[in-house]
Structure 1
């Protein structure tokens, strides 16, 4: 049918199908700012303004827009460039990954069109249909209010995150002094070893430390095609997956004849069409033994959602039709859905095949076993005055990035297989595909455009292998993407944990023995973080070292989706258990919970004894704590939360209030092979092309790398162009991830920039007839003792055209130890004892950020982690039925926090100086998340007296525990009944 409508002020006539969605129509016409994050109108990424009303384009038929006026994000810029609203999003750092930004901008635009002076609550209500997983909601709300003020001609304040230098508030902590237990049990501040505060701790830098807009923010807020599927290739084929309806089954027969006969179908692939070569979808070093337990396609299906067949066709509709014609005969096997089941004597084997290798104990479904011990734990328990035990459970959850897994593959003019994917590990994908497809590494090129959220779920090969295989078979470009329901059923999950703790403590609060036994599932394949070398140390136990510690973990195969990291390696789950446990210990000892932590926590100069045991024989460098802002972080939260005032309040009545605090630490030795590199090239105009080997390098990380380069060189940030997205031009990175990007990539960039600076000054010295060491380079100018100076551009031109040299440098960087980052989170809650509902009044987070390279972007990332932490604490959980069928398939079934749900949050960045980080910086994107759930659990316990050992803290769980407590109290208070006499 023909449809006439107005898009961004231009009237146009278009042909549409009766069942075509408005989302499909707009993207077909090149409006790529309309993103697809779901198919049910739950995420808001596809928001478009229709006749002044914000609507979800994925659930609106194109025919319904006939005669309407539409506004997309491409229509927001003014004649002067970005609109006021878009500029506000850029200025406050409200577009961390950019995938949700277009939808938020349009919801805000519709609000401001009808209400040009909205309140905070009205902005939150307007944005309530737009989800964000990366940066949370504080920044977008702030941006909308800022834009409204600017549109009224009002003055607005400069955005100033809360950055606290230790020396300003706590000079003793800055000198490495902290509370230590004295012989009589009192606490004093005593000096400890400190090597964390270097001589340049108070140095003011030109670029480092400044709140600068994100590297690519203007493109992200204007709808520029930047994501995987925003660029289409001519002759593109569409691939679709047939997935297993059973949690555990064997394919006895599969008939694809009818599917292959459908007109427009180019290939139907099953296990019969591929080689049976085991591989690991997560990164492993060349010398690692495994486990290698996955296959391109297999006849054994190990979870509901596992891959059965791939159809490649001319259109998505034809592919879906062909999927329905594939006939499969399954032999259904018993399913293991819980790691405890996997340990039973007669449990079925998840991996009985002989081809897999590197599995610790396939006969007993054990993928990996970890055991680290310090001292004599059993003797430590004998010496303890009090022993406290507890079991804690963290369920499976979905990372739920708004951009689902998506891949586009094609063969370029040189015969190279090109893979465009939103992976967080491009070099790992390249290595894996070359081996699986029997191609030379030089014949595989991985391009990673913007990533719309990852959170660890995109560090594995998920769809890239099958999409690349489809291109290899058909010779045509192919696209393959998960729908939102497929993301839930087939995508990586955060695994469930069962954690048992046993702690021995003296009456004065000093820990003498601590044991953590962890049972967890890697799902169908060994992708669990604990199967990687960097995951073998308990960061939670390491935060509170004592003479006797034991950490044991068993990672088991179950018939559930493969696991992924949870913004870190097991730290969030372990932190929930241990931080909840410590509050219980404090209650038993009648000791203040914060004081218990101060008496036992890791201090500057301490050795990481668990890590030393776990890495014995490996070259991992220093295992000393070089810097810590933990004391200052806790002091800030304690003060701002009003801990000593609110903690002791007696609660009565229906609504009960409480406060809780939790601590987390992140950072452990990287694998010995972890390395990265950087190459830098000086251009004629004085700009620098910087090619960096980096894993999860989103625009936030690219901006930090650019600031490191600009500061080292002494040039403006605009002079630096960072390239991290193409394996054909960037150095290899091993040990890829958000945390390692700053340390490995940042170290390589700084080293290459130092070499470049020396080359520039050497040439400038010849131009000025001066010694290079006598020259200064600042703001892109090189000057000496005389009046004459040169720009970097002039030096570049001189090098090229006079000395006939292209100035280039390359550097490799290896960091044996990831610096330790600390965070303290405080929560204030109100619990309704009649409904079980928990309302979080406020969240405070103080993070030891090292030297903060960019306060604005750092604050945004931490706020995003707090939003995810709230979801993990109170609402997020994947549910399955008794047969292993997923019950959670849409965002509407899986409650993510939105702008209305969010409590007041406040972030404090505590500056220390970390010798191992670039300019003393630490990576902080993930560390605060793990402290949110235990802080809330501790606050609920403070309010109600009940300890909930399982997440999430749903109303049902709280009510059950509350009524059980009331019943127990009633029984304890009732007089004993007289025996009945006959």
Structure 2
């Protein structure tokens, strides 16, 4: 039908199908700012204004908008480039990944059009239909408040992040040490101060420490093409996957003749059409043994949503129609949904195939087993005055990024296979695809588009292999994506965990022995980091070292979606169990919970003995903690929460209030094969192109790397362009996660910048007839002290190119032996309704050890986002399966993600220390705050009610059952 629309002030006449959505129409017309997210109207990424009203375009028919005025992010009114509202989002750091930004902007714009003086509650309500998984809601709210003030003609000062600088700290705390003497009266030993640390301790920086906006923010807020779905190729074909309806089955026969005969179908691929090559969807170093237990397509399907066949057709609709014509004969087999069932001697064997390798014990469904011990744990328990045991259960959850996984592949003019994906690990994808498709590495190029939330699951190969295979078979560009229902069913999840802790302590609260036994599932395929013994690091127990420690982990196959890393690997789960358990230990020894932690936590200069034992004899060098802001983080939370006033207050009414605290630690001291490189080129206008290898990087790192390079060189950050997305341009990178990547990329970039600075000053010395070491380079200007003559870096670059006929370039490699540890403390105040079980969070206090501050605004945004996810983990997020293994949680409407209205008041404090291994003393802060949110809330709930539900999330139903069970246990037993 013919439809007339007013889109961003332009009258447009278009043909639409009766069933076409407004989202589909807008994207077809090139309005990329209308993002394709959940397609159920729940996430808000596709929000547009229809006659001034914010509406989700994914659930509105295009025909309904006929004759209406439609505004997308591209149409926001702007005087010079950006509107006041868009500029405010950029200024305050409100667009970390950018996927939700355009929808939020339109919801906020609609609010400001009808009310230019909204209060915070009105702003939260206006944004309540827009979800954010990366940065949370505090920054968008600040942005709307700022824009409203500016639109009213008022001044609006930017809100500075709360940073605890070293000068404000106790000197010992600044070095990561306790504020008081230990109970024995002996102060903590001072750390070894390296020359790197000393040089940075009192340095004055020009760029480092400044709150610069995210380099991609303008692109995000204007709705410019940024994500995979925004790039079209001529002659594009569309892929669609036939998913298994069974949790466990063998394909006895598959007939695709009708599907192949359907007009518009170009290929139908099954296990019969692809090479049977085992691979791992996660990156494994050459020295790691596996497991390698996945296949592009297999005759054995192991979870509901597993890949059965791929159809490639002229349109998505034809592909979906072809899927219905595929006839499959399944032999349904018994399935396993709970990791405890996998150990049963009669349990079905999920990986009987002979081709897979590296599985610890396929006959018992054990993907990997990890056992690490320090001292003699049994003896330690015998020497303890008190032994406390506990079991803690965490459910299956979904990372639930707003942007689904999406891939587009094509052959370029030289026959190179180009893969455009929202992967976090482009070099890993390239290496694996070359092996799977039997191509030389030079014939595969991976380009990473912007990522609308990664959270670890996009560190893996999810769809890239099938999409690349489809292009190889058809010779045409192919696009393949998961809708959100498919992502919940077929993508990666955080698996269920059952953790048992046993702790032996003395009467005065000294931990003598600690044991953690962990049982978890890896799903159908062994993707989780614990499945490789070389990567298993018992982080949580190391937070409280004792003479006798034991860590045991059993990772089992189940007939559920494969498990992914999801922010912190297994650390958040272990931290939840340990920090909940420590409060129970404190109760048993009648000691304040914070005091118990102070007496036992890891200190600067301590050796990570459990990690060293886990290395199994490998030479890992010195595993010492070189910096820690843990003491100051806890002091801040203790003070801001009012711990000593509110803790232990007895309230016996219906509404019970309580406070709780938890600590967390992040970093991998056993990171293997971690290396990166950087190439730097100085252009004749003084700008620099920096090509950095990054294994699993995040959006903020473009800005952070520019700041590192600018500070090292003495130039302005806007003169630097950082490239990390294209394997054809950037050096290879081996790094397991965003934490190690920060140190790798940062170290390589800084080393290359140091070399470039020496080259620039050498040439400038010849130009100025001065010794290079006597020159000063600052803000792009080179000068000689006491001499009235200067040159710019641009003049030096031009001189080198046109006079000396040299292109100034440098390159550097950087290896990280271990990822340093960073720390966080979280405080929570809660109110529990004992009649309904409902838990209300009154406030959250977060303090994070950030090392040397690089960019306060961007790190604050990231921490705020982790708090949002932590709240969901604690109170609402969980995936349910029915008895046949079918996920019952498929959309955001029944997977509750916190929105702007749900959020409690949250304060973030960043504590500065100096980390010798970090660039300029900085630390990677990825995921460290997330792990402590749930246990802090659980501890507050236990303090308020005297009841500790050992299972997450703390839903009203679980809380009410626990309260009733506790009440019954307190009743006297009748004779």
- Common fold, TM-score beyond 0.5? yes
TM-score of Structure 1 vs Structure 2, range by shorter chain? over 0.9
Aligned-partner Cα distance in 1 for 2:619–2:102: 47
Write out per-residue CA displacement over residues 262-296 of structure 1, whole angstroms, 9 at most, x where no aligned residue.
00000000001011111111101123221110011
- How far the C-alpha of 1:699 sits from its partner, in A, is 2.5
Match of 1:963 in 2: 964
Identify which of 187, 191, 194 aligns with 1:193: 191
| CA distance, structure 1, for counterparts of residue 895 and residue 427 of structure 2 | 32
Equivalent in the alignment of 1:931? 932
TM-score by length of 1: 0.98
Q: Which residue of 1 aligns with 2:21?
A: 21
Partner of 1:894: 895
Asked whether the 8 Å contact 1:194–1:627 carries over to 2, the reply is no
Q: Does the 8 Å contact 2:369/2:533 carry over to 1?
A: no
Structure 1 stretches of 5 or more lacking a match? Answer: 978-982
Hey, what's the Cα distance between the residues in 2 that align with 1:741 and 1:513? 34
Equivalent in the alignment of 2:519: 519
Tell whether the 8 Å contact from 1:179 to 1:599 is kept in structure 2 after alignment. Answer: no
Q: Is residue 169 of structure 1 aligned with residue 169 of structure 2? A: yes
Residues 179 and 188, structure 1, Cα contact 8 Å, conserved in 2: no
Q: Which digits, 9 at most, give the CA deviation of each residue in 1:418-469, with x for residues without a partner?
A: 0000011110000000000000000000000111111011111000000000
| SS class of match (2:512) | strand
Cα offset for 1:190?
4.2
Shift of 1:537: 1.6
CA offsets per residue over residues 179-235 of structure 1, 9 Å max, x none?
6775xx577754443537534212220000000111111111000101011010000
Deviations 1:707-766 (A, max 9, x none): 000100100010100000000010001014321221000000000000000000000001
Whole-angstrom distance in 1 between the partners of 2:375 and 2:562: 35
Alignment of 1:209 with 2:197, yes or no, is: no
**2:292 maps to which residue?**
292
Shift of 1:922: 0.4
Q: Is 154-163 or 463-472 further displaced after alignment?
A: 154-163
Mapped partners of 2:670, 2:538: distance in 1: 14
Structure 1 stretches of 4+ moved >4 Å: 179-182, 185-191
CA contact (8 A) 1:260 1:267 kept: yes
Contact 2:510 2:599 (8 Å CA) reproduced:
yes
Secondary structure of the residue that 1:178 maps to in structure 2? Answer: coil
Distance of 1:587 and 1:551 partners within structure 2: 24
* Distance in 2, Cα, partners of 1:49 & 1:391: 50
Structure 1 match to 2:804: 803
Query: How far, CA to CA, are the matches of 1:672 and 1:937 in structure 2?
Result: 35
Distance (Å, rounded) in 2 between the aligned partners of 1:33 and 1:174: 45
> Is the 2:615–2:670 Cα contact (8 Å) retained in structure 1?
no
TM-fit CA distance, 1:78: 1.0
Q: Hey, what does 2:276 align to over in structure 1? A: 276
Q: TM-score, normalised by structure 2?
A: 0.99
CA contact (8 A) 2:535 2:671 kept: no
User: Does 1:456 find its partner at 2:456?
Assistant: yes
Distance 2:423 2:649 in 1: 49
The answer for the alignment partner of 2:626 in structure 1 is 626
What's 2:478 paired with?
478
Question: Aligned partners of 1:532, 1:448: CA distance in 2, in Å?
Answer: 26
Residue in structure 1 matched with residue 793 of structure 2 by the alignment: 792
How many Å separate the matches in 1 of 2:179 and 2:144?
44
The residue aligned with 1:336 is 336
C-alpha distance in structure 2 between counterparts of 1:44 and 1:971, whole Å: 53
Alignment-derived partner of residue 34 in structure 2 = 34
Structure 1 segment 574-589 matched on structure 2, within 5 A: 574-589=574-589
Distance apart, 1:568 and its partner CA? 1.1
Give the Cα–Cα distance (whole angstroms) in 2 for the partners of residues 175 and 352 of structure 1: 53
Equivalent pair of 2:39/2:484 in contact (CA under 8 Å): yes
Q: Give yes or no for contact 1:206–1:711 (8 Å, CA) kept in 2.
A: yes
Q: 1:176 and 1:528, CA in 2 relative to 1: closer, same or farther beyond 3 A? A: closer
Shift of 1:315: 0.3
Q: CA deviation at 1:573?
A: 0.1
Distance 1:484 1:525 in 2: 21
Rounded to whole Å, the distance in 1 between the matches of 2:747 and 2:780 is 22
CA deviations over 1:284-314 (Å, ceiling 9, x no partner):
1123221110011000000000000000000
CA shift at 1:80, angstroms? 1.1
C-alpha change, 1:533 and 1:922, in structure 2 (3 Å) is: farther
CA RMSD of aligned residues (A): 1.2
SS of equivalent to 1:410:
strand
Correspondence list, 1:251-650, <5 A: 251-532=251-532, 535-650=535-650
Per the TM alignment, residue 867 of structure 1 is displaced from its structure 2 partner at its CA by 0.2
Q: Secondary structure at the match of 1:328?
A: strand
Q: Tell me whether 1:244 sits opposite 2:244 in the alignment.
A: yes
Question: Any idea what SS the aligned residue of 1:638 has?
Answer: helix
Q: Secondary structure at the match of 1:606?
A: coil
Q: How many residues align?
A: 972
Question: Alpha carbons of 1:189 and 1:906: their partners in 2 closer, same or farther (altered >3 Å)?
Answer: farther
CA contact (8 A) 1:670 1:815 kept: no
SS state of the match for residue 743, structure 2? Answer: helix
Change (3 A) 1:39 1:842: same
Q: For residues 894-915 of structure 1, what are the alpha-carbon distances to aligned partners after superposition, in whole Å with 9 as ceiling and x for unaligned?
A: 0000000000110000000000
